[in-house]
Structure 1
């Protein structure tokens, strides 16, 4: 009887572990899809839609979901959370910025220490539009938004009590940020960078996804959103709303909420979708996505502004990114998490 009882206890745990691994796989696959959209949009642009911009939104809504789970559901210790964030982000970023500053010196996208400093202090999304800008670092704006969002979400997790209050605050801040973007772009006539690089605008994507994550966890989403087709339909509708003829603010007022819904309803989506996202190529690209995102920018600039052939440039991106992942990002992260 004792052996049978032990087996009956172990089996659900093994099943739960298997389910957790599968869930992690399709979220890694979503990350892989995100970077694939960025790379296609930059190196093989599709007429009628900016896939690079769309890919960034795929990243943002995934970050919102993960932060909602980590900070508000799992209640991950903040000290450990920020250590993990540092070990995940900073070593690879430092190597990229330093290498790019040296390697690109004298080229049309060369930059100096002031621009490098804004990237390394996560202020580039404001400094890049107000003070100094470097084409090889233009993608760092999105990393800045993410890091700022993590700090804000961490503060909310400490200061605000009650799940309902947290959700209401996240939704309110999201709506204010989306309105801020629409006003900046439409009423004030600012261009895309001056409107949507800013954290006070673009944080909406992350906060809104985090709020949907919490509503889903508390089973407060409407029943019809539990359909296995909601994720796919929402993502497809969001992509259509990102088409070029659609005004830019509509991308963020309507399409981003749909993407946030899509990533948060993956758990109940059809096996066809999660199976595709869990495929080995998608998962591997997802694991490499941060290094790929860091290193694609300077090569993209050579393609877009100098007419360089996209295939060799993309091959160079993968070469640099794989070196970054296996020689810097992965070992540095493991060492810091183990010893710090």
Structure 2
């Protein structure tokens, strides 16, 4: 220890900054891949597979990995964690709902006030099943699941300090959620929305990924489940299992765990993947991903329900999303993070 100088122990600021930039670009690339799958699946559907659903699952398993790192490995302060989540998500969501209420009034996907309120209170995934829904808001179910997962994981991180206890707890909750979905769909014959919009079912995707992330951090993930080739094989198998002929519960019983493994098996330093995912197109798509996610739904509904050409609708998505990102999302986040 005495032979190691302080300079050797503490990396230079430039090294840290470069590492952070690479890591951020890599993560944005994952988000870029996820939103690209959603957009392709909605506007240019591929026969035999719902790429939109696959893209949402990529978002979930990536979120599970990130939340595990932030809450259980870095032990990020919870007060600051929720402030940053709010500053990133809520301003753009609020503006989207207000503008869409005004702009879509009188159209076939006209907003309903009750549905808008449930979107803004992150209860749409249950209210959309039990009370009321609006087509242009249907995508908010996935945002609700993620917000609920933030709260649940934050509570677990506050109440359970030992990772040796956290991992079995997360795995147990994930298995219960997966079984809950299978029983709801197969036994009670509920449809897709009534089953897989619910947090008590779909949180499994986030919890599984978080569990695998923590197993890897603890050095308890078997060597056979690590590395880029394992990640590629797992991702390929998951895509095959998401094909339409495969029963829906199998997507979530088998394919989602494989996606969670794929996201966690890759290291940020794997050259072939980090260079692709850190590329400007993928990283930029990732930066815009939340605003694209918000604004794609109403335009998608016009294509899906009215048969309008997808190209002008996709152009509309990007126009609205870029305005949202540069005029609302980024400035609001920066201002709130700086002043709150």
Q: 1:176 to 1:10 in 2, by over 3 A?
A: closer
- Secondary structure, in 3 states, of the residue corresponding to 2:28? helix
Structure 1 distance, partners of 2:219, 2:24, is: 21
Q: 1:33 to 1:279 in 2, by over 3 A?
A: same
Q: 1:262 to 1:12 in 2, by over 3 A?
A: farther
Per the TM alignment, residue 16 of structure 1 is displaced from its structure 2 partner at its CA by 4.2
1:223 paired residue number: 223
1:163 paired residue number: 163
Structure 2 distance, partners of 1:199, 1:11, is: 41
Listed as ranges, the gaps of 5+ residues in structure 1 are none
Residue by residue over 1:80-111, the C-alpha shift from the partner in whole angstroms, topping out at 9 and shown as x without a partner, is: 11000100000000000010011000000001
- Secondary structure, in 3 states, of the residue corresponding to 1:221? coil
2:90 paired residue number: 90
Summarize the alignment of residues 34-183 of structure 1 with structure 2, pairs less than 5 Å apart. Answer: 34-183=34-183
Summarize the alignment of residues 24-39 of structure 1 with structure 2, pairs less than 5 Å apart. Answer: 24-39=24-39
Residue by residue over 1:162-186, the C-alpha shift from the partner in whole angstroms, topping out at 9 and shown as x without a partner, is: 1011000000000000000000011
Structure 1 distance, partners of 2:108, 2:289, is: 26
Summarize the alignment of residues 12-23 of structure 1 with structure 2, pairs less than 5 Å apart. Answer: 14-23=14-23
Structure 1 distance, partners of 2:85, 2:64, is: 14
Per mean C-alpha deviation after superposition, the further-off stretch among 305-314 and 14-23 is: 14-23
Q: 1:338 to 1:16 in 2, by over 3 A?
A: closer
TM-score of the superposition, structure 1-length normalised?
A: 0.96
Per mean C-alpha deviation after superposition, the further-off stretch among 327-336 and 214-223 is: 214-223
- Secondary structure, in 3 states, of the residue corresponding to 1:229? helix
Per the TM alignment, residue 161 of structure 1 is displaced from its structure 2 partner at its CA by 2.7
Per the TM alignment, residue 285 of structure 1 is displaced from its structure 2 partner at its CA by 0.2
Residue by residue over 1:20-68, the C-alpha shift from the partner in whole angstroms, topping out at 9 and shown as x without a partner, is: 3222211110100000000000000000000000000000001100100
Structure 2 distance, partners of 1:85, 1:129, is: 26
1:190 paired residue number: 190
Summarize the alignment of residues 241-252 of structure 1 with structure 2, pairs less than 5 Å apart. Answer: 241-252=241-252
> In 1, are the aligned partners of 2:227 and 2:266 still within 8 Å (CA)?
no
Per the TM alignment, residue 15 of structure 1 is displaced from its structure 2 partner at its CA by 3.3
TM-score of the superposition, structure 2-length normalised?
A: 0.96
Structure 2 distance, partners of 1:187, 1:328, is: 45
Per the TM alignment, residue 223 of structure 1 is displaced from its structure 2 partner at its CA by 1.2
Listed as ranges, the gaps of 5+ residues in structure 2 are none
Structure 1 distance, partners of 2:179, 2:269, is: 31
Per mean C-alpha deviation after superposition, the further-off stretch among 14-23 and 38-47 is: 14-23
